Structure 1
Amino acid sequence: MQKLQTLAQENGISLEDLLRTRIEDWLSWPTSEFAQAANYVLTKNAELYRRLA
């Protein structure tokens, strides 16, 4: 807890804001990574999917 409070203080923000921001980042990270992977696969295989349709 002390490390988090120090980090927040060093960055000039409240502990609550620090935690809120990091939790929001953490919650959105897997979705973003999945979306990027899905987009890559769909783009890479677009011609194959077109032929199979």
Structure 2
Amino acid sequence: DAVAVRSPNLLHSTGATYAQSADWGVEEAEGFIKLFGMSSTLWARVNEGGSGA
């Protein structure tokens, strides 16, 4: 089931680009994915005894 959400603070368009209108290159997207995932990767290493960070 679809759910509607209304908020005065949700997805402000001023200075932001979303989804298909974004003009990001492959390298920029890959860099974002690495940065975005870094906190999860480090948390897992620290909390699960994984190899050094």
- TM-score class normalised by the smaller sequence: 0.3 to 0.5
Which of 1 and 2 has higher RCO (CA within 8 Å, sep 6+)?
A: 1
- Higher helix content, 1 or 2: 1
**What TM-score does the superposition give when structure 1 sets the normalisation length?**
0.36
**What TM-score does the superposition give when structure 2 sets the normalisation length?**
0.36
